[in-house]
């Protein structure tokens, strides 16, 4: 029987020369393909020795490292479900994810072991390991005693490979369940669409707990047997320094904005580069054009989401149109509908719906929510609003979901408002996204005080910082007498956005 385990496909693409460099780090370490093979085998054997139930989740909140990458691959290899968690998440956020996903294994950094293990044990997790970015931790200590031979566990295309939490517009985050088939189909389509070639080298500068860095970048390189230059964090100077050794780069728009501020970013530095990919948030046309002028390269913008991996892309050969996200990828069916569920005419705006082998298996333990997000004929409602022009190029013009995308990270106003509203003296709050030159968009909080109460914006921000991931913290806080409302009494966020749109201009 064919093994549809994603890891089996990735491993089959390893080059013949297993001693060649697979990953080169910014600290000067080289990992060979053999290292990846052996270390993932050892970690997979460790996971399997724990006697975990079928479909067990392995939740991981660790700093970016090659060992963290190996842990991801080992989890696939052993047939378990990988659950990556942003390192910015704090205890209340982690408590929710662990409580909801009930992972059998939790891996965290040593400095967080105290509070993370407490949360994990409370949720019934029996195995908590540590893993740090200096190649230490109990996970590696334990794996060192395991065999470096391991047969990739048999998985069907529909079996779960990962759960990615994506915040909800109302209520708490939802875990998007992605299967081995979802991810392999997407990886294969992108390998072809972006014309990955022998000898390609990817600069990997993104975090590895979301779709862009974890799936698009890693799967892209591995399924092509390509080396990665692995940067623990995005450092524009280092990226510019490494460009001459690379051919492919992927980033959220903020990364491109920051690279453009580097004088070293020249045509000469990009002489071996073949492809620059952008996505996760809208790429401003100014950035697209300036990049073209400075480097001679046209950024290829694509569009996707946690629930679907990649959906559309500008062409590799053919015109890459700034401000658009290109065409639906092969195998993806994409349509734009009006509120009545009818297709809109060419060039008109509507809701984007998608279908395809890449579309997720539903939200973890939320069958009702899953049902709501699909149409009767099986299309997933992305929550994005867009249009398709006469040549078939798709443009995202907005979102029907109340979502801020800041530096490529999603921030759900409802979540932040909930925290602010719970603070003493706050009557009501509204969080809106406003344009920002670096992050594209950032959150701003506007609130009214309860009668007689006095609020202090700085104190509110300080309190939020103690509870939430740093990228979710509103960059400004305003206390006002009243919030603009429509005739139904609903807060008019569009008015607030308009009022504050020039704050960071
Ligand atoms: C950091 N800060 C942010 C922020 N990142 N504020 C708003 N939005 C962000 N994204 C703030 C911190 O709170 C802190 O504030 C200060 O900036 C410095 O923090 P830092 O951690 O040192 O920041 P930095 O390293 O500069 O990070 C910026 C960044 C990072 C752009 C490199 O945010 C990043 O890697 N973004 C990429 C996200 C990504 O991979 N998205 C893909 C999602 S997948 P203070 O006040 O505490 O000093 C997806 C699907 C798809 O969307 O289609 O791909
Ligand atoms: P996430 O939930 O983190 O996976 O974020 C997915 C969302 O990011 C999508 O629904 C879009 O709103 C947005 N997005 C991704 N790529 C692009 C893009 N190229 N242009 C505009 N928005 C994008």
pLDDT tens readout for residues 200-214: 999 999 999 999 999
Residues 115-164: tens digit of each pLDDT: 999 999 999 999 999 999 999 999 999 999 999 999 999 999 999 999 99
Q: Is the minimum distance from the CB of 226 to ligand 1 under 6 angstroms? A: no
Question: What is the pLDDT averaged over residues 279-294?
Answer: 98
Token look-up 């992972």 returns 103
pLDDT at 1: 82
pLDDT at 412: 94
User: E strands along 199-292, which residues?
Assistant: 201-204, 227-230, 248-251, 275-278
Q: Is the minimum distance from the CB of 304 to ligand 1 under 6 angstroms? A: yes
Question: Dihedrals φ, ψ of 396, to 5°?
Answer: -90, 120
Q: How far is the CA of 382 from the centre of ligand 2 (A)?
A: 9
Q: Is the minimum distance from the CB of 436 to ligand 1 under 6 angstroms? A: no
What is the distance between the alpha carbons of residues 356 and 408, in angstroms, rounded to a whole number? 24
Closest C-alpha residue for ligand 2 atom 5:
305
Q: How far is the CA of 472 from the centre of ligand 1 (A)?
A: 9
- Asked if pLDDT for residue 434 goes beyond 70, the answer is yes
Q: Pick from 293, 302, 321, 282: which is nearest to 404 by CA?
A: 282
What is the distance between the alpha carbons of residues 385 and 391, in angstroms, rounded to a whole number? 18
Domain range annotation of the chain: 6-13+32-183, 319-399, 404-500
pLDDT at 167: 74
> 282 falls in which pLDDT band (50, 70, 90)?
very high
> 257 falls in which pLDDT band (50, 70, 90)?
very high
In what order do the strands lie in the sheet containing 300-305? 30-32, 21-25, 227-230, 201-204, 248-251, 275-278, 300-305, 309-313, 327-328
Q: Positive or negative, the Cα torsion across 97, 103, 109, 114?
A: positive
Q: Find all residues with CB under 8 Å of 326, minimum gap 6, and list them.
A: 300, 301, 302, 303, 312, 313, 314, 315, 320, 393, 394
Q: Is the minimum distance from the CB of 256 to ligand 1 under 6 angstroms? A: no
Q: Is the minimum distance from the CB of 247 to ligand 2 under 6 angstroms? A: no
Cα angle for residues 502, 503, 505 (degrees, 5° grid): 55
Residues 179-202: tens digit of each pLDDT: 999 999 999 999 999 999 999 999
Question: What is the pLDDT averaged over residues 365-375?
Answer: 96
Q: What pTM did the predictor assign?
A: 0.97
CATH number of 6-13+32-183: 3.40.50.12780
Q: Pick from 4, 82, 1, 83: which is nearest to 44 by CA?
A: 82
Atom of ligand 2 nearest to the CA of 410: 3
Q: How far is the CA of 351 from the centre of ligand 2 (A)?
A: 14
What is the distance between the alpha carbons of residues 128 and 434, in angstroms, rounded to a whole number? 40
What would be the CATH architecture of the domain defined by 404-500? 2-Layer Sandwich (3.30)
CATH number of 319-399: 2.30.38.10
Question: What is the pLDDT averaged over residues 330-358?
Answer: 97
Q: Is the minimum distance from the CB of 279 to ligand 2 under 6 angstroms? A: yes
Q: Is the minimum distance from the CB of 301 to ligand 2 under 6 angstroms? A: yes
pLDDT at 137: 98
- Asked if pLDDT for residue 172 goes beyond 80, the answer is no
Q: Find all residues with CB under 8 Å of 468, minimum gap 6, and list them.
A: 90, 92, 93, 415, 416, 419
- Asked if pLDDT for residue 398 goes beyond 60, the answer is yes
pLDDT at 103: 98
pLDDT at 401: 86
Token look-up 């809109």 returns 344
Q: Positive or negative, the Cα torsion across 126, 127, 130, 131?
A: negative
**Strand, coil or helix: what is 400?**
coil
User: E strands along 415-465, which residues?
Assistant: 426-436, 440-449
Which mutation among 212, 278, 281, 306 tests ligand 2's pocket best, with the greatest number of atoms within 8 A of CB?
Answer: 281
Closest C-alpha residue for ligand 2 atom 7:
305
Instruction: Label the pairing between strands 275-278 and 227-230.
Output: unpaired
Provide, rounded to the nearest whole percent, the portion of the chain with pLDDT above 70: 99
Cα angle for residues 146, 229, 42 (degrees, 5° grid): 5
pLDDT at 169: 57
- The mean pLDDT value of the chain amounts to 97
Atom of ligand 2 nearest to the CA of 307: 4
Residues 98-114: tens digit of each pLDDT: 999 999 999 999 999 99
What 8-state DSSP symbol labels residue 234? -
Which mutation among 280, 395, 407 tests ligand 2's pocket best, with the greatest number of atoms within 8 A of CB?
Answer: 280
Tokens representing 223 are: 């399924």
Question: What is the pLDDT averaged over residues 63-90?
Answer: 98
> 170 falls in which pLDDT band (50, 70, 90)?
low
Which mutation among 384, 387, 435, 440 tests ligand 2's pocket best, with the greatest number of atoms within 8 A of CB?
Answer: 384
Which mutation among 259, 470, 473 tests ligand 1's pocket best, with the greatest number of atoms within 8 A of CB?
Answer: 470
Q: Is the minimum distance from the CB of 471 to ligand 1 under 6 angstroms? A: yes
- Asked if pLDDT for residue 97 goes beyond 80, the answer is yes
- The number of helix segments (H) and strand segments (E) in the chain equals 15, 24
- Asked if pLDDT for residue 96 goes beyond 90, the answer is yes
- Asked if pLDDT for residue 171 goes beyond 90, the answer is no
pLDDT at 211: 98
Closest C-alpha residue for ligand 1 atom 4:
471
> Could you tell me the CA-to-CA distances from 219 to 23, 216, 489 in Å, in that order?
13, 6, 48
Question: Dihedrals φ, ψ of 316, to 5°?
Answer: -75, -55
Q: Is the minimum distance from the CB of 167 to ligand 2 under 6 angstroms? A: no
pLDDT at 168: 61
**Strand, coil or helix: what is 350?**
strand
444 and 475 Cβ atoms separated by less than 8 Å: yes
Q: Is the minimum distance from the CB of 166 to ligand 2 under 6 angstroms? A: yes
Atom of ligand 2 nearest to the CA of 409: 3
Strand partners, 411: 404
Q: Is the minimum distance from the CB of 140 to ligand 1 under 6 angstroms? A: no
Question: What is the pLDDT averaged over residues 213-232?
Answer: 98
């Amino acid at each position: 029987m064919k093994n549809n385990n994603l890891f089996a496909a990735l491993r089959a693409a390893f080059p013949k020369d297993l001693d060649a460099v697979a990953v080169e780090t910014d600290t000067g370490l080289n990992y060979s393909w053999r290292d990846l093979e052996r270390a993932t085998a050892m970690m997979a054997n460790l996971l399997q020795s724990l006697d975990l139930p079928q479909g067990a989740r392995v939740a991981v909140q660790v700093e970016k490292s090659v060992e963290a990458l190996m842990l991801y691959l080992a989890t696939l290899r052993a047939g378990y479900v990988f659950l990556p968690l942003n390192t910015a998440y704090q205890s209340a956020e982690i408590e929710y994810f662990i409580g909801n996903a009930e992972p059998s294994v939790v891996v965290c950094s040593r400095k967080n072991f105290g509070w993370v293990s407490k949360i994990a044990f409370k949720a019934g997790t029996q195995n908590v390991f540590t893993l740090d970015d200096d190649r230490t931790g109990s996970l590696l200590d334990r794996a060192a005693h395991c065999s470096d031979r391991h047969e990739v566990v048999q998985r069907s295309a529909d079996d779960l490979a990962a759960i990615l939490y994506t915040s909800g517009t109302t209520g708490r985050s939802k875990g998007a369940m992605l299967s081995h088939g979802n991810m392999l189909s997407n990886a294969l389509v992108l390998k072809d669409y972006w014309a990955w070639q022998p000898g390609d080298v990817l600069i990997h500068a993104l975090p590895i707990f979301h779709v862009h860095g974890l799936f698009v970048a890693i799967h892209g390189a591995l399924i092509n047997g390509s080396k990665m230059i692995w940067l623990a964090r995005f450092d524009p100077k280092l990226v510019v320094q490494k460009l001459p050794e690379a051919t492919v780069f992927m980033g959220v728009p903020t990364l491109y904005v920051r690279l453009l501020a580097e004088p070293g970013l020249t045509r000469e530095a990009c002489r071996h580069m073949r492809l620059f990919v952008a996505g996760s948030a809208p790429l401003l046309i100014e950035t697209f054009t300036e990049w073209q002028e400075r480097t001679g390269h046209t950024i290829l913008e694509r569009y996707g989401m946690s629930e679907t991996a990649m959906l559309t892309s500008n062409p590799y050969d053919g015109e890459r149109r700034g401000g658009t996200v290109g065409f639906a990828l092969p195998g993806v069916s994409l349509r734009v509908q009006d509120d009545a569920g009818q297709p809109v005419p060419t060039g008109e705006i509507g809701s984007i719906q998608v279908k395809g082998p890449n579309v997720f298996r539903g939200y973890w333990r939320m069958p009702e929510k899953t049902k709501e997000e699909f149409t009767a004929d099986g299309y997933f409602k992305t929550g994005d609003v867009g249009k398709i022009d006469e040549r078939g190029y798709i443009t995202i013009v907005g979102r029907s979901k109340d979502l801020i995308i800041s530096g490529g990270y999603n921030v759900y106003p409802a979540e932040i408002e909930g925290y602010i509203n719970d603070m003493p003296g706050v009557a009501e709050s509204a969080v809106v996204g406003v344009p920002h030159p670096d992050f594209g968009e950032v959150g701003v909080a506007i609130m009214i005080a309860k009668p007689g109460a006095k609020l202090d914006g700085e104190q509110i921000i300080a309190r939020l910082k103690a509870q939430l991931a740093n990228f979710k913290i509103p960059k400004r806080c305003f206390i006002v007498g009243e919030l603009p409302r429509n005739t139904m009494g609903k807060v008019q966020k569009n008015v607030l956005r308009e009022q504050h749109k020039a704050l960071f201009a």
